[in-house]
Structure 1
Amino acid sequence: MSQTVELYIYDISQGMARTISQMLIGKQIDGIWHTSIVVFDREYFFGSGGVESCNPGTTLLGTPLEVQKLGETHVPYGVFYEYLNGLSTTSYISSSYDLFKHNCNNFTEEIAQFLCGTSIPKYILDLPNEVLQSSLGATLSPLIAQLEKSARPIAEEQRSVPRDEDFEQLNSQIEEARYNSFLLEERRKTIKEKLAKKERKREKKRKKILKEGGTVPSDLQEENTMTDTEAVNGAESLPSDQVLAMEEEERKEDEEKKKSREPPIVFKDLIDVKAEFDALVGLIDGKLSPDEQRSTEELQQYMIGGEGSWALSDGFLDYLNRLLNDKELPVDVRIKILNILAAAALKDDIILVLHGDRKDHVIMNYAFELDRHTQPEQEAVALFIANMFENLSSSEWLMYISEWTFNGQQTSNIRVTTKVAVHCLLSDVPVLQDRGAAIIHNLACKEKMFKNFRIRQRLPKGSLSKVFDDVAVELTMALLQYFNSKPSEEQLYRCMKALVKFTQISGQEVPQLIQMIGPDPRSFKGTSDRLDELIQQVSVKLH
């Protein structure tokens, strides 16, 4: 079913602009225009309070001066609501409101284009430029800003679209559900691994007894061999050959998932885990409590003994917090534990350790203060972040958007990851640049784009990828600055590949930045064939 789309036009000056504009700015202005979109029996508008809605015509401005029918839309309400939610949490949040550059009329223009491919009247969109270009534009700004506050719904009709805390709560619930699901799956895998390990030991004993000519005890006879009574999926125990088959099937599924995605750039052979662990033990010997000593032993089981993350007890994160933040310990302690974590990041069950840190954010708070750490600490943090892209689950964790406050600043996993990437890329240390380029490459290639162009056009900004528009823009600015340092072919390839992705993610802002800031990617043509191919893809977006 189609829905009528209407534009409500208000003069927030209540006729005053027509009366005094000639005297004040030397030209006739018929009104200071505020507009809103009416569709699905609601009036939607944008102001300094963010995106809001109310019953049509119930703002403090009263009856609109004019109502224009823009057309009909066949967009379902659910799709429109999702689109509106996207806008209200990305490009049209309250803090982004600007009286002249990003106002209610820009919002209604975008909604009108989305719903029915129609623009609002040009004279409304041109009004800010007329005022800005006048000699008294700056003087009028406070007055117009005060008038804009009149465009508010009557209190009982007001409904923000949506509230930030609603989205924060929803995102937390999604992450909680994802964690619980993953935790259950990991528990199943751990049980099966233990059962398979036990069966291999039994098989080894059977073969040894038979080789020596002995009689196999009943509990080792193959026909009686069953898994422990600890059930997988809460069901009865399974025969060992079935457990092994299930284990192999899951391994193949994981391999297929990895093959289907863009290969990340990780550093697998840089860390000698045993050497790092021995050095760590030497540095902290005699300085730990009994509980912390036990955590050291658990870490050894996990990293060297071949055990799963289940070997780490609940106190492991307290132990980690001590090692990272106790300034009484030598700085090498922090470097060694970070290097061990970077090696742990390559394990497919590292996500269980990370999810245990959802409350205190020990690891990401430390990474957030990257610029305050010594160079070796920065290198270790960057190595950890880069290696986190080895597995799908841990790379998703790096991109969580749930926020928390640290030292008076709002941050999140994706903000920390972005900060580390930019800081490293723009440093003058080759090792940091290498790892920063890897992180940005991995971020850009993390998410496959929607293939259907029509679908992409209808989605709000920030919905095309898990690398949101603002992150793509920030990383693009870092890349362009880095290009001026004459990077090597390998680094240039990683960065240009990321730039290709960012031109897809943010189809307007990123190409504009490239053209305004430079350097022109085409200046690197001829460096290598694979680079020329990427440069061509970027160049197409610049026209």
Structure 2
Amino acid sequence: MESHRVEVYIYDLSMGMAAHLSPMLIGKRIEGIWHTSIVVYNREYFFGSHGVESCNPGKTAIGTPKEIKYLGDTQVPYSVFIEYLSGLAHSSFTGKSYQLFTHNCNNFSEEIAQFLCGVSIPKYILDLPNEVLNANLGQSIAALVGQLEKSARPIEEEQQQAIARENSPDLSKEIEEARYNSFVLEQRRKTLREKLAKKERKKEKKRKKILDAGGVIPAELEEIAMADTEALNGDEPAPLPSEQAFALEEEEKREDEAKKKARDPPIIYRDFIDVKEEFDGLVSIIDGKLNPEEQKSTEELQQYMIGGEGSWALSDGFLDYINRLLNDKQLPVEARVKILNLLAAAALKDDLILVLHSDRKDHVIMNYAFEIDRLSKEEQEALSLFVANMFDNLSSSEWLLYISEWSFNNQQISNIRVTTKVAVHCLLSDNATLQDRGAAIIYNLASKEVKTVVFDDIAVEITMALLQYFNQKPSEEQLFRCMKSLARFAEISKQEVPQLIQMIGPDPKTFKGTSDRVDALIDQISTRIR
């Protein structure tokens, strides 16, 4: 008989926030709010408040499963399974029979797993409802999970196409490649102008010296040095940029500045780092521990951060150097802290984006940032400083929000998810410095004009973190940042965020009277949750 592979897809409806919030809400830690489905015959089957449904594997609005567990193989013919499934859909698993805690998707998965393979789905999933029901806030959690469960629906064809377009790895790569090429071109033109300017200054000095001596200026010094200017990507002469090209670049700069002024100013830490001190400290730590190529990268870093050169001074091997400093555990923690502080200062430069784009293949920086919860407190502080400062420039802040995914440690992550994790982790830390940086990053995130299919989920995740943070009685400045963010997220996610505020609390009105600017934001939020 023909065999068919049977798998259970395990999703966390809370997107990782259950692990953060459960100790506060129910007094014990639970790892996730589990939704499961059975995948067999190249189809995903699941049960919810709309009854038994199916779709192509992984094509619900929840997204990618947290875990896929192999249950076994079945010899049940497809026709027999469909007949059995139809019977369930019209008897014990109708939409009206759905009960969040006692008769849910996981009970359905268990039923199907037993029928097909004679095995059970993981016990911790079936035991979860009792843990929640026995909690004081069981009913509030039930309402929240009920809202999350609605996302466990097949994506309509139009939505699938839209999300496919938005999340298409090929399209994302093309967009990022185009951005990268644009920045490279702009940087080459900038470097060309710098070289020409230096050449002209040298010639001017030579002219002045000759005139002061009463001599005659040679004819070659009167000519424009078009033929002597080397092209940036070879040895061929390059023409001077036309006046039209310069005018176009100036117009682009004005447009960027206008965009920058139109948004709320980001919270950054401009004078926090003494660049020379950090660089000298790094050199003293790594002295004698680098190979010749890495020593060259140290010199390039000095030219970029202290010598005033552009990012063109950094060679192709610079990211390998960063990778070594961040991930070589033989080096002391101080080396990682120093290079992160230098990157935080570099984030205030508008050409750092060229370095960031060259990391789009190996994701050295974001893979490191994704593991913030495993880093030392000193590394966490330096990393949070870097992420906060990245919002100073439009290009680098947009890079933080890229949605194209890659696999890291068996998880699908993206720049926006890493940025969110860093922000949430810092805000909920017991470290005052991290809390300050986390509030700044969330404020900066909320100030961005973002239009992606994942930003609603990000708004919900950060909202849950903000509500938990409010229980710590933050200062006025921190409260302002968080309320400003909450008001923005309530505007973005018009249904989920207001419902979360109502169900989880605390009510923003409890902070009335803190200051006029906080009161104004509370009024904005209150209009959303009526």
The amino acid that maps onto 1:538 is I
**One of 390, 401, 404 as aligned partner of 2:403:** 401
Cα deviation for residue 390 of structure 1 reads 1.1
2:202 is the counterpart of 1:189: no
Is the contact made by 1:218 and 1:224 (CA closer than 8 Å) also made in structure 2? no
| Number of the residue aligned with 1:496 | 483
Alpha-carbon distance in 2 for matches of 1:364, 1:256: 29
How far apart are the structure 2 equivalents of 1:262 and 1:276?
Answer: 30
Amino acid at match of 2:179: R
Structure 2 match to 1:176: 177
Task: Give the counterpart letter for 1:480 in structure 2.
Answer: L
Whether the 8 Å CA contact 1:50–1:92 is kept in 2: the answer is: no
1:524 aligns with 2:511: yes
Q: Provide the rounded CA distance (Å) in 2 between the counterparts of 1:33 and 1:239.
A: 63
Letter in 2 for 1:171: S
Change (3 A) 1:219 1:480: farther
Residues in 2 aligned to 1:240 and 1:170: alpha-carbon distance in whole angstroms: 33
Equivalence for 2:54: 47
Within 2, Cα distance between the matches of 1:143 and 1:268?
Answer: 56
Inter-CA distance 358–307: structure 2 relative to 1 (3 Å threshold): same
Q: Could you give the per-residue CA deviations for residues 471-510 of structure 1, whole angstroms, max 9, x where no partner exists?
A: 1101001111111111111111111111111011111000
Following superposition, the deviation at residue 332 of structure 1 comes to 0.6
Alignment-derived partner of residue 132 in structure 1: 99
C-alpha separation in 2, matches of 1:356 and 1:136:
50
Paired AA for residue 344 in structure 1:
A
Counterpart in 2 of 1:347?
Answer: 349
Which residue does the alignment assign to 2:455? 468
Q: Which residue of 2 aligns with 1:389?
A: 391
Pick the aligned partner of 1:334 from 323, 333, 336: 336
The answer to whether the Cα contact below 8 Å between 2:48 and 2:95 also exists between their aligned partners in 1 is no
What secondary structure does 2:168 align onto? helix
- Give RMSD over aligned pairs: 3.9
What displacement does 1:92 show?
Answer: 5.6
Letter in 2 for 1:191: L
| Structure 2 stretches lacking a partner, 5+ long | 1-46, 67-92, 117-156
**Partner amino acid for 1:177?**
A
- Offset, 1:396: 1.2
Q: CA deviation at 1:46?
A: 6.5
Distance in 2 between the 1:491 and 1:468 partners?
23
Q: C-alpha distance in 2, partners of 1:209/1:441? A: 59
Instruction: Report the TM-score when normalising by structure 1.
Output: 0.68
> Contact 2:512 / 2:519 at 8 angstroms: preserved in 1?
yes
Q: Which residue identity is paired with 1:185? A: E
What is the aligned partner in structure 2 of residue 167 from structure 1?
Answer: 168
Distance 2:425 2:100 in 1: 39
> Structure 1 residue 178: deviation in Å?
2.3
Paired with 1:285 and 1:134, the residues of 2 have a C-alpha distance of 60
2:478 paired with 1:478: no
Match of 1:296 in 2: 298
Instruction: For 2:191 and 2:230, locate their aligned partners in 1 and report how far apart those are by CA, in whole Å.
Output: 11
Determine the structure 2 residue equivalent to 1:41.
Answer: none
Is the alpha carbon distance of 1:515 and 1:294 closer, same or farther for their aligned partners in structure 2, counting shifts above 3 Å?
same
Measure, in 1, the Cα distance between the counterparts of 2:49 and 2:438.
Answer: 45
Percent identity of equivalent pairs: 65
AA partner of residue 508 (structure 1): Q
Distance apart, 1:202 and its partner CA? 3.3
Q: Which residue of 1 aligns with 2:358?
A: 356
Structure 1 position 218 matched with structure 2 position 219: yes
Q: CA deviation at 1:219?
A: 3.4
Q: Deviations over 1:499-529 (max 9, x none)?
A: 1110111110000000111111111122112
1:508 paired residue number: 495
CA distance in 1, matches of 2:102, 2:255: 67
Cα distance, 1:231–1:512 mapped onto 2, change above 3 Å? same
Scaled by the length of structure 2, what TM-score is found?
Answer: 0.69
1:465 Cα offset (Å): 4.9
Gapped regions of structure 1 (runs ≥ 5): 1-31, 37-44, 52-87, 97-125, 150-157, 449-463
Aligned residues: 416
Residues 114-157 of structure 1 show CA distances to partners (whole Å, capped at 9, x for unaligned) of: xxxxxxxxxxxx962444399878998459969xx9xxxxxxxx
SS in 2 for 1:470: helix
